[in-house]
Structure 1
Amino acid sequence: MAEKRLVNNSPEDVQSDDVLSTYTHVYSPDLLSGQVAFITGGGSGIGFRIVEVLMRHGCDTVIASRNMEKLSEAARKLSSVTNRRCLPISMDVRQPESIIAAVEETLKEFGRIDILINNAAGNFLCPATSLSFNAFKTVMEIDTMGTFNTSKVIYDKWLKDHGGSIVNISATLGYRGQALQVHAGSAKAANDAMTRHLAVEWGPSGVRVNTVAPGPISGTEGYRRLGGSHAETAGMFHSIPLQRAGNKTEMAHTVLFLASRAASYVTGAILVADGGAWLTSANDVERLLGIHSSRSAKL
């Protein structure tokens, strides 16, 4: 009997926060030509790759977070490989005044904002009984309030009169309840609801609002914290229909689709990009609590 071979059509990626050494365009290289994207938390992880892929399709970008040093290094790397402008701006999504200043600077530099990617997030593994009130509040402020704050400012200052696309980065944590993630799961569930509400209210202004919900994605902090490389070696991803973890480039391609004219009639959608993981993978409470216990013992 012939050995079964899995087909892996995943695009090129690198584990670190570095640009791709090669890139194959899945859409026309000028798909986003002349457009400007504003990305929160674009200095590392999935956000970094999203910015790179948007720029490789003709888009100029603004990356905004609190860590200006990381942003400046990321912007240098991204501009050098894409020949597009990438402007780093220090901003805190929890502070509307900070967002207003960042958006005004963006409009002064580029004259427009066509795409908003709400990628900024805060997360860590913690059982609910050990979670402080302030820790829960902080995650809600970054993930949920931050998404609303940034969306509202950019809508009021530009999208309301010019249209555009908003893509929120969510997660599948809240779909069935996951141990150690009540804070992040609650925040992302609120964001999924926000996506639908804003899609309804802002649709008449020509603004599309959608969400991407990634699953286990290699080369990310979340993947490392949940023992992703060990899980992959141990064959734990065999329960995923596509039999593997995803990568950051795949998430960037999903965002590219929703942000571009390829999805011109798509709004209010929650697009799960997890290889089918949430449908079939075990919600392994014992393993997750074990990860937390072993790490607590080392502290």
Structure 2
Amino acid sequence: MDESLYTILVVDSGLERRVAFKSLFSDCYQVVLAENGEQALHMLESELLFDLVILGENMSVVSNFDVLKSVHHACRYKDTPVLMIANSVDVDDEVRALKLGVADYIHRPFDPVVLRLRVKNTLKQAELLKQLITLADTDYLTGLNNRRSFATMFDRVWRRSARTNSRVSLAILDIDFFKRFNDRYGHAEGDKALKKVSEVLREHFRRATDFVARYGGEEFVILCTDIEAKELDHQLAKTVQAIEALQLPHESSNVSKWLTVSVGVAVVNAADGVTEKLFKHADRSLYAAKSSGRNCVLRHSEALEGGVVDELP
């Protein structure tokens, strides 16, 4: 545990107490100070990323409980621990804080050595939890997100897009004739191929709003927001080309002497649609891509009825 890599946000209205906190922790951690709840919320919404939040005395309209709720409601901070330090023993406040998910509730006066150990132990526990979550959400073979993490992310993205009346794009990518590939070259080579395909996907979809996962077997999903249709079409076409350019031999394929993929993509306005519609359209597009010769991308056209699809150039 490299303590110098951790950044702590300390919120306290007293200048002397903030200086004391800085002195207590700055030899081990990166310490950022906020003098009230409003400033704390601003910092939490900035580009900075905090590993721990310490809430001391906060004499502002935005209370410590408001900050605590904001931390746990923010996607990127949902697993970030919060310590609350109280000036007096108030059982009701302590119960409320614990119900809201505070990691530790400390009463003044406290011993500085004990507080440092509490902070160290809290960060260590948070790191272990993060590692467990990563293991649970990661596909063991490819290192991509797995189906479980995709389901969580999809729900989060869909709800946010519905609130903002924005569009969600879903692409389903399937390796062409992969069963034949495994039968001919063996599962060890099949695993290598899956890893290679995953590397291409990781390289081509690196935006913060891109989410790539192995959905199962030889099938992958790409979830995108805040992207123009033409840009997504271009990225997917480049991805298909890049996978064939790997030149992984596939002599049992009816498409190419190299391993190839087919992609179906659909776009739905989250405020107007339902999740099943997006998956159904992407699935139908993938089926059409396979029926039309594979090694291509097909996009569902919402302007046409009956599941008609448009082939991308």
Question: What TM-score, normalized by structure 1, do the two folds share?
Answer: 0.25
Higher fraction of strand = 2
Tell which has more relative contact order, 1 or 2 (C-alpha 8 A, sep 6+): 1
Larger radius of gyration: 2
